[in-house]
Chains A and B, each alone.
Chain A
Amino acid sequence: MTQLDSTRIAMPGGTRPFASRLLADIWKHHQTLITRLVAVSIVLAFWEWSVESGRVNELFLSSPTTIAARLYQSFADGSIWKHIWASGEVALWSFGLSVGVGVPVGVLMGRVRLVRDTLEPFIIAKYSSPTIAFLPLLIIWFGIGVLSKVVLVFLGGVFVIIINTEAGVSNVDRKLIETARSFTASESQILRKIVLPSSLPFIIAGIRLAVGRILIYVVIAELFASTAGLGYLIFQAGALYDTPMIFVGVVILATVGILMNSFLRLLERKIAPWRFSSRGD
């Protein structure tokens, strides 16, 4: 009520109809959301119109409604699941490996100077070279099955986790470690109760970046010698000029990416509320 009242007081005259005041109030509180919805709607409408009116050849661009229909159909007849499972298998394995290897290696590098100095040149060398260049080698080593794909995607995802974890661990506030020491905490307590919680936001940020890379590399891995998967689906559809199907693959990948990203952002905020506090210190 106070919100409404103050809005009215701010308005000259102060006797505007209720509906108009209500709209002003909604706008004030949801400005960002409304702007985004309007922007997306305008782009979608223009897109739809440009295809449906025949101004853009349907071979090059499918209308949003066509894509939606195809998306619905591919779920309804179940044909899409094969591809989702194939990509999901590779993505999940490499995600698990990236986190399982990346976090411990990053922690060790951040805590133990010898480990950092030993591994750093390799990490820099690998991080600076295009992962995709390793694919032919990986196929020679691991064949064309799931394994070579998992290794490729793992290589694409793990380093950003290592680098972020190391940054988090080596940036732990020394004063907090000293405080723990002053209360006679053991090294293992310092690791578990100071170092890890304090670097958790960095670790999660690293995982968030890794998820993006993993999705990209899953698609790239499926470019070669695949029989299923969302990447396979997209390139197959491309070869057949099945434009709506390309978009179906893209939409699913984008949705997974957005969902994972929002989930990890939410987790970041839950885990480190003090980082997002205006008061902070």
Chain B
Amino acid sequence: MIDVNSISHAFARDPREGGGALPVIDDVSLHIERGSFVSLLGPSGCGKTTLLRIMNGLVTPQKGEVQVDSEVVRKPARNRAMVFQEFNLLPWRTAAENIAFALEAQGFGAKARAERIKETLALVGLENFANYYPHQLSGGMKQRVGIARALSVSPDYLFMDEPFGALDPQIREIMQIELLKLLERDNKTVVLVTHSIDEAIFLSDKIVMFSARPGKILTTIDVDLPRPRWQNDEEIKASPAFTRYRQEIWHLLKREVTKSLADSIQAV
């Protein structure tokens, strides 16, 4: 269970660009149930990635606090793991060694490491690529390693920062299906930052929609589509309910995207 309590945050602006503070999150409160899949959706620069990093403890908010299981978040913890948009694999380590890194950081012994590496690599279908370096893997495979690395530490909370944003659209759809399949095994709480409306609807129980910068919560939408969704993904995406969600969300989002576009044009 995650409680975001009145978070506000601003970045220091580069003095060459006039200095001062650039507010990115404005008074955001949010409750996330244990075991649910929640997407943060909004235009670029609306602070959703920053909010995710605050929840994980990588960034300390200027106002407000985040509580995970009723404890205030001050730094990253062992029960929260992160998947990054750019994969962030260590280029000098193989797929297996990259997973080992997360386990080493959390103090797992050699034997436990070997077991978990084998298990999670098999989970993401890369058991034959354990000894490949990141530069030898495709984008989709790299992110599979990124996901395996996050799952290897058995987190209760999985934070995903546009995990499929750097992948081509077809691989992206396959990865979404695989992710749902993976998550079916255990009851993890997932928070996903995404730009993609379809991705948010297909994966989430709840979608939190943000305004243009500084990010405020516009509305929260409960996605009431039957699970498991990975088996009949085509029907679900073609269903009238899915289309209605997409229409509703885009209707709200369009104005914000236009606003953030106008903003960025002014900035230039």
- Interface residues, chain A, CB within 8 Å of chain B? 175-176, 178-186, 189, 193-194, 197-198, 200, 271-274, 277, 279-281
Given contacts A180-B105, A183-B101, contact A197 B135 (CB under 8 A): no
Tell me the bound Cα distance from A204 to B248 in angstroms: 57
- Which A residues are CB-close (under 8 A) to B222? none
- Which B residues are CB-close (under 8 A) to A175? 84, 86, 88
CB <8 Å contact, A182 and B76: yes
CB <8 Å contact, A182 and B58: yes
When C-beta atoms are compared, the residue in chain A nearest to B133 turns out to be: A274
Shortest Cβ gap from A171 to chain B (Å): 13
Given contacts A181-B76, A194-B90, contact A281 B82 (CB under 8 A): no
Q: Is B56 an interface residue (CB 8 A)?
A: yes
Q: Could you say which of B80, B86, B101, B136 has the most chain A C-beta atoms within 10 Å of its C-beta?
A: B101
Shortest Cβ gap from B167 to chain A (Å): 13
- Complex interface residues of chain B between 86 and 131 (CB less than 8 A to chain A): 86, 88, 90-92, 101-102, 104-106
Tell me the bound Cα distance from A189 to B106 in angstroms: 10
CB <8 Å contact, B133 and A181: no
Which of A178, A184, A189, A197 contacts B78 (CB under 8 A)? A184
CB <8 Å contact, B136 and A184: no
Chain A interface helix/strand/loop/mixed: helix
When C-beta atoms are compared, the residue in chain B nearest to A182 turns out to be: B82
Tell me the bound Cα distance from A178 to B84 in angstroms: 10
CB <8 Å contact, B76 and A184: yes
Shortest Cβ gap from B163 to chain A (Å): 13
Q: Is B145 an interface residue (CB 8 A)?
A: no
CB <8 Å contact, A182 and B81: yes
Q: A193-B90, A281-B135 are in contact. List 4 more A-B contacts (CB 8 A).
A: A175-B88, A183-B102, A193-B101, A280-B135
Q: Is B261 an interface residue (CB 8 A)?
A: no
Which of A176, A182, A186, A279 contacts B56 (CB under 8 A)? A182
CB <8 Å contact, A274 and B101: no
Shortest Cβ gap from B98 to chain A (Å): 10
Given contacts A281-B134, A281-B135, contact A180 B106 (CB under 8 A): no
- Which B residues are CB-close (under 8 A) to A273? 133, 135
Which of A178, A180, A182, A272 contacts B92 (CB under 8 A)? A272
Q: Give me 10 A-to-B residue pairs in the complex whose CB atoms sit less than 8 angstroms apart, sorted by A's number.
A: A178-B58, A182-B56, A182-B58, A184-B77, A189-B105, A194-B90, A197-B92, A198-B92, A272-B91, A274-B92
When C-beta atoms are compared, the residue in chain A nearest to B78 turns out to be: A184
- Which B residues are CB-close (under 8 A) to A198? 90, 92
Contact bitstring B10-32, A, C-beta under 8 A = 1, else 0: 00000000000000000000000
Q: Is B153 an interface residue (CB 8 A)?
A: yes
CB <8 Å contact, B90 and A183: no
CB <8 Å contact, B92 and A279: no
- Which A residues are CB-close (under 8 A) to B92? 197-198, 200, 271-272, 274
Tell me the bound Cα distance from A179 to B56 in angstroms: 11
Tell me the bound Cα distance from A276 to B81 in angstroms: 31
- Which B residues are CB-close (under 8 A) to A271? 92
CB <8 Å contact, B136 and A279: yes
- Which A residues are CB-close (under 8 A) to B80? 182
When C-beta atoms are compared, the residue in chain B nearest to A201 turns out to be: B92
- Which B residues are CB-close (under 8 A) to A277? 135-136
Tell me the bound Cα distance from A183 to B56 in angstroms: 10
When C-beta atoms are compared, the residue in chain A nearest to B142 turns out to be: A281
- Which B residues are CB-close (under 8 A) to A193? 90, 101, 104
